[in-house]
């Protein structure tokens, strides 16, 4: 059969198998080399960025605000005083656990309800305690801050603080003042309900967020661009990005999903639908700068949106549309034909089948695709430069027709400045951008797992 | 409107136009019976339904109304003809089994009854299927309406990934049912012999049930829209023997209120559950034809066509 002569102890097939194995080892080595090399390069880049960026993004925990900002502003209580709060979470987790242990050793059979009650009883005081401490700390902080920036009548009243705080500070108040105590309560609840994994995961995340928060320099995220690197911040870029993403999603998602529904559910398989399909794939490969030029002509000039958030969002919507369409089509295809048949068989019209069955079952997949498309859009710079997004925005966009900037453009601008201070904050900006991307992609993965149906 | 009474024949009845007549050539000469006819068809004298002398009907001993009357029904997938000129009745309030080897067009025929083949691009039906005086193949007849009145249960249980309650209620809801939904759901589940097993967990996902329970849920779902006919395509082929037995019992019970057409691979099953049996066979060119139709007992104990006997005795693959 084979040309190889059978030798003792070796079947005639052996040479072919060995040859194939040799080949696969070769491919493996190449793949490993490629992966290692790219990982190393990426790692080096990340380390470099992190070292640079950390200088601006984080305080060392003991530095006062004035040191970080390079000028005397006010003498604020430092987050350092609050470091011990980072331990509140692990303690809060241990408490219901230990409490239950103790109670169990005393009483043999505890009813399930009592178990929960014990969980609550042990975590609730800790949560309240943490919350009160936090509010007192934050009040002192903001009273000083308010005095320094000349707000009159600042008091320790938490509601007034909420009223005076704005933007990022407001978020901080909410996050730290409420999320942490609630996280502690949730941990106790999960634990006493024997949901061990979330009970550990939630507090771990909250604790990590808390630690980051303690060391994060809030002013980098809450300041406008400045000609002084020490005072420049990402605030207008972050809000600009958020604003643009919301509009982009609002435009691209319905259009893209609609197109996918048409192609999958309505279009007949003929040359026309095939042509559309091929061109969608082609559009996904068009360089993004081309979309920028298209946006410049169509949205900025012809439709006279000017260099606004709206023009940028529409351009981005075009750019990500192919991704959304293709992923929505894939999501629709995962709905088995048997589901459609089942719905048709009880007398559903085509639209009812789509509305009540196909769409709901595919929606998770569509959202996942949408998040991935958005994370592509968030990093795109070229098309926005083409339509003329600005880099120095010292105000927040109020309406879709305002000027705007986004994170990658801000970073790009800082990188091109000659002063090294700007290079450092560019690195900080990149870290923020990467964190946002990481969170979005993680959300997409989680959502994909969550919404998967095993048919 | 006049109902179709399709047989009143007994073996002694004078309407017995039977084989001798159809074996006459136009010139009046009596020829030998076609080669596929059993030569010694002594007891059962058959009546040929179609001019090809292929489909054979036994004489009926009971008087039944027809729910569906097929006349020269052919089905095509693009240029491929899957079934050819089938003519037969589907008796009302009886279980009719479609049997035959794989690929002979059983599913195709079944899917013609509720216009399910409309959903397949390129699929086409010819001929006439009379349902309450209308030809339901007619493009002017609303397929959605047809499917509401002729329900279907599929080979693989396919409950919606929704709650048990929603599974049953869906069909009624989209068809504008305005009565008491809770009662309809309970009633449908009872008739599908599932109520006692799921009454405490109607919120549970239909997918969380066992295979047999899922299939009964699908039957409940079909019943909930109050159809006249229920089509079942090998409803038990994916189930274990115990679950299969339950489905078979259910079919017998349902036949009191509904007309049931069931495709089955399983001879014993056809023998156990059906009142009437149609035997389909695909020839060389893979075109499915009706070979023999009649009361199940006659088909099984006394088939007229040689090929039917071969199939029933297991001489086909
Ligand atoms: N969707 C389809 N497209 C093209 N041919 C089909 C399709 N479905 C079935 N067929 C063909 O029609 C014939 C009958 O199929 P089917 O009705 O499924 O047979 P059965 O149910 O008796 O096994 C087979 O030759 C099969 O290959
Ligand atoms: Mg079949």
B102-111: per-residue pLDDT in tens? 889 999 999 9
**Would you say residue A380 lies in a domain?**
yes
pLDDT of amino acid A214? 56
**pLDDT tens across B45-97, in order?**
334 344 444 455 655 666 778 899 999 999 999 999 999 988 889 999 999 99
Cα A393 to Cα A48, A389, A403, B186, B213: the distances in Å are 28, 10, 8, 64, 63
Whether the CB of B120 sits within 6 Å of ligand 1? yes
Would you call B171 and A347 a contact, using CB atoms and an 8 Å cutoff?
yes
CB of A351 less than 8 A from some CB of B: no
Mutate which of B74, B97, B104, B105 for ligand 1? The one with the most ligand atoms within 8 Å of its CB, which is B105
Between these two residues, A332 and A121, which has the higher pLDDT value? A332
Assigned CATH topology for domain B5-12+44-312 = Rossmann fold (3.40.50)
The residues spanned by each domain of chain B are 5-12+44-312
Chain B nearest C-alpha distance from A450 (Å): 14
Minimal-distance CA residue of chain B relative to A452: B161
Residue at which a domain ends, from A216, A249, A277: A216
Angle value at C-alpha B61, between B60 and B65, nearest 5 degrees: 70
> What's the ipTM?
0.82
CA of A25 to the centre of ligand 2 (A): 46
The segment with the largest mean pLDDT, out of A202-211, A275-284, A413-422, B142-151, is B142-151
Q: Which atom of ligand 1 is nearest to the CA of B286?
A: 25
- Is residue A96 scored above 70 in pLDDT? no
What pLDDT, on a 0 to 100 scale, did the predictor assign at position B286?
Answer: 87
Q: Are residues A113 and A209 in the same domain?
A: yes
Question: Domain boundary residue among A148, A183, A216?
Answer: A216
Average pLDDT in the A7-32 region? 60
Residue A355 in contact with partner chain B when CB distance is under 8 A = no
- Domain membership of residue A337 (yes or no) is yes
Which pair of tokens denotes residue B121?
Answer: 């691009």
For residue A265, give how far its alpha carbon lies from the nearest alpha carbon of chain B (Å). Answer: 11
**Least confident segment among A149-153, A273-277, B247-251:** A149-153
By C-alpha distance, the chain A residue nearest B227 is: A346
- Distance in Å, alpha carbon of A435 to nearest chain B alpha carbon: 35
Cα separation, A72 vs A68, in Å, equals: 10
Q: What is the pLDDT of residue B148?
A: 93
Same domain for A383 and A353, yes or no, is yes
Question: What's the A254 CA to ligand 1 centre distance in angstroms?
Answer: 38
Q: Is the CB of B82 under 6 A from ligand 1?
A: yes
CB < 8 Å from B in window 301-330 of A: none
Tell me if B112 CB under 6 Å of ligand 1. Answer: no
A-chain CB neighbours of B156 within 8 Å are: 338
A189 lies in the same domain as A318: no
Judge residue A383's burial from the number of C-beta atoms within 10 Å of its C-beta, 0-12 exposed, 13-18 middle, 19 or more buried.
buried
Instruction: Classify residue A45: in a domain, yes or no.
Output: no
Nearest to B136 by CA among B245, B12, B228: B228
- CATH code where residue A283 lies: 1.10.3720.10
Percent of chain A with pLDDT over 70: 58
Q: A420 CB near a chain B CB, below 8 Å? A: no
CA of B82 to the centre of ligand 1 (A): 7
Q: Does B144 touch chain A (CB under 8 A)?
A: yes
Q: Is residue A198 part of a domain?
A: yes
- Number of domains chain A is built from: 2
More confident residue, A212 or B231: B231
Residue A394 lies in a domain: yes
Across chain B, which has 317 residues, the per-10-residue mean pLDDT values are 35 35 40 40 38 54 82 92 90 93 92 92 92 91 92 94 94 90 92 90 91 93 93 90 89 92 90 92 87 89 86 75
Tokens of A83: 């470091």
Regarding the beta carbon of B315 and ligand 1, being less than 6 Å apart is answered no
Q: Do residues A399 and A270 both lie within one domain?
A: yes
The reported pLDDT for the residue numbered A173 is 58
Question: In this complex, is the C-beta atom of B225 within 8 Å of any C-beta atom belonging to chain A?
Answer: yes
Indicate whether A293 and A194 sit together in one domain.
Answer: no
Would residue A55 count as lying in a domain? no
Does the Cβ of B105 fall within 6 Å of ligand 1?
Answer: yes
| Residues in B touching A347 (Cβ below 8 Å) | 144-145, 147-149, 171, 174-175, 225
Q: Does A198 share its domain with A96?
A: yes
DSSP string, A368-392: HHHHHHHHHHHH--HHHHHHT--S-
Q: Which of B145, B154, B158 to mutate to test the interface with A (most CBs of A within 10 A)?
A: B158
A50 or B142: which carries more pLDDT confidence?
Answer: B142
Query: Across the interface, do B147 and A345 touch by the CB < 8 Å criterion?
Result: yes
**Which of A161, A189, A216 corresponds to the end of one domain?**
A216
| Domain that residue A269 falls in | 230-451
pLDDT digits (tens, 9 = 90+) for A332-363: 999 999 999 999 999 999 999 999 999 999 98
Whole-number Å distance between alpha carbons of A88 and B76? 72
Ligand 1 atom 5: residue of nearest CA: B77
Query: Does ligand 1 have an atom closer than 6 angstroms to the CB of B154?
Result: no
Q: What chain B residue is nearest to A451 in terms of C-alpha separation?
A: B161
The reply to whether A210 and A251 lie within a common domain is no
Interface membership of B205 toward A (CB under 8 Å) = no
Residue A403: which residues within 8 A CB-CB, separation 6 or more? A307, A308, A389, A390, A393, A397
pLDDT of residue A256: 93
Rounded Cα distance, B245 and B252, in Å? 11
> pLDDT tens across A315-335, in order?
999 999 999 999 999 999 999
**A154 in the same domain as A113:** yes
Residues A127 and A191 in one domain: yes
Task: List residues bridging with B277 in a β-sheet.
Answer: B97, B294
3-state secondary structure of A8: coil
Same-domain pairing of A164 and A271: no
> Is A107 contained in some domain?
yes
The answer as to whether A294 is a domain residue is yes
Cβ B99 under 6 angstroms from ligand 1? no
Tell me: do A166 and A104 sit in the same domain: yes
pTM check: above 0.90: no
Cβ pair A220, A289 in contact under 8 A:
no
Q: Both A104 and A184 in a single domain?
A: yes
Q: How many CB atoms lie within 10 A of CB B215?
A: 30
Q: What CA–CA distance (Å, rounded) separates A175 from A183? A: 10
Q: Which residues of A touch B159 (CB under 8 A)?
A: 342
Grade residue A110 by pLDDT with cuts at 50, 70 and 90: low
């Amino acid at each position: 059969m084979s040309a190889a002569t059978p030798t003792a102890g070796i079947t005639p097939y052996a040479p072919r198998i060995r040859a194939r194995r040799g080949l696969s080892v070769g491919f493996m080595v190449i793949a490993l080399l490629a992966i290692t090399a790219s990982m190393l390069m990426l790692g080096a880049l990340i380390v470099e960025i992190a070292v640079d960026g950390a200088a601006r993004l984080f305080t060392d925990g003991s530095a006062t605000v004035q040191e970080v900002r390079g000028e005397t502003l006010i003498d604020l209580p430092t987050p350092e005083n609050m470091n011990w709060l980072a331990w509140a979470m692990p303690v809060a987790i241990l408490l219901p656990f230990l409490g239950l242990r103790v109670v169990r050793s005393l009483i043999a059979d505890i009813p399930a309800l009592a178990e929960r009650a014990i969980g609550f009883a042990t975590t609730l005081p800790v949560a309240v305690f943490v919350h009160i401490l936090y509010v007192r700390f934050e009040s002192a902080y903001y009273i000083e801050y308010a005095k320094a920036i000349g707000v009159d009548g600042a008091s320790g009243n938490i509601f007034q603080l909420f009223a005076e705080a704005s933007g990022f500070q407001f978020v901080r108040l909410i996050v730290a003042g409420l999320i942490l105590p609630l996280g502690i309560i949730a941990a106790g609840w999960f634990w006493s309900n024997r949901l061990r994994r979330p009970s550990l995961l939630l507090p771990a995340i909250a604790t990590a967020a808390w630690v980051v928060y303690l060391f994060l320099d809030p002013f980098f995220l809450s300041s406008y661009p400045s000609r002084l690197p020490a005072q420049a911040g990402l605030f207008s870029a972050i809000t600009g990005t958020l604003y643009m993403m919301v509009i982009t999603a609002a435009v691209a998602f319905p259009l893209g999903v609609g197109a996918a529904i048409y192609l999958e559910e309505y279009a007949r398989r003929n040359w026309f639908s095939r042509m559309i399909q091929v061109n969608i794939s082609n559009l996904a490969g068009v360089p993004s700068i081309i979309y920028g030029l298209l946006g410049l002509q169509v949205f900025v000039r012809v439709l006279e949106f000017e260099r606004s958030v709206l023009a940028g969002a529409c351009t981005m919507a075009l750019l990500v549309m192919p991704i959304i369409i293709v992923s929505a089509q894939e999501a629709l295809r995962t709905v088995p034909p048997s589901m459609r048949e089942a719905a048709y068989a009880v007398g559903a019209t085509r639209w009812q089948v789509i509305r009540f069955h196909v769409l709901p079952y595919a929606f998770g997949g569509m959202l996942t695709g949408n998040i991935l498309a958005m994370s592509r859009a968030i990093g795109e710079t070229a098309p926005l430069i083409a339509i003329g997004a600005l880099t120095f925005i010292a105000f927040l966009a109020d309406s879709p027709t305002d000027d705007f900037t986004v994170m990658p453009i801000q970073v790009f601008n800082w990188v091109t400045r000659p002063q090294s201070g700007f290079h450092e904050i560019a690195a900080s900006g990149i870290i923020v951008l990467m964190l946002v991307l990481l969170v979005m992609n993680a959300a997409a993965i989680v959502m994909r797992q969550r919404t998967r149906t095993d048919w | 409107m006049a109902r179709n009474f399709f047989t009143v024949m007994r073996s002694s009845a004078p309407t017995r136009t039977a084989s001798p007549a159809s074996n006459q050539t136009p010139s009046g000469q009596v020829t030998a019976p076609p080669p596929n006819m059993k030569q010694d068809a002594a007891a059962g004298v058959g009546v040929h339904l179609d001019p090809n002398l292929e489909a054979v009907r036994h004489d009926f001993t009971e008087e039944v109304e027809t729910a569906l009357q097929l006349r020269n029904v052919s089905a095509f997938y693009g240029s491929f003809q899957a079934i050819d000129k089938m003519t037969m009745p589907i008796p009302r309030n009886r279980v009719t089994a479609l049997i035959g080897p794989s690929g002979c067009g059983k599913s195709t025929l079944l899917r013609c009854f509720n216009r399910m083949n409309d959903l397949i691009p390129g699929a086409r039906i010819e001929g006439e299927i009379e349902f309450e005086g209308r030809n339901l193949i007619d493009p002017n007849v609303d397929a959605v309406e047809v499917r509401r009145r002729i329900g279907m249960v599929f080979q693989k249980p396919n409950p919606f990934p929704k709650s048990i309650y929603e599974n049953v209620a869906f069909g009624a809801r989209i068809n504008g049912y305005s009565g008491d939904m809770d009662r309809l759901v309970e009633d449908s589940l009872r008739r599908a012999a599932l109520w006692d097993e799921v009454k405490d967990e109607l919120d549970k996902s239909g997918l969380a049930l066992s295979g047999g329970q899922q299939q009964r849920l699908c039957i409940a779902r079909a019943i909930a829209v109050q159809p006249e006919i229920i089509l079942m395509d090998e409803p038990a082929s994916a189930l274990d023997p115990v679950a299969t037995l339950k489905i078979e019992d259910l079919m017998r019970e349902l036949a009191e209120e509904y007309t049931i057409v069931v495709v089955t691979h399983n001879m014993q099953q056809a023998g156990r559950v059906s009142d009437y049996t149609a035997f389909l066979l695909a020839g060389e060119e893979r075109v499915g034809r009706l070979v023999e139709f009649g009361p199940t007992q006659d088909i099984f104990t006394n088939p007229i066509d040689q090929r039917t006997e071969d199939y029933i005795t297991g001489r086909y693959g």
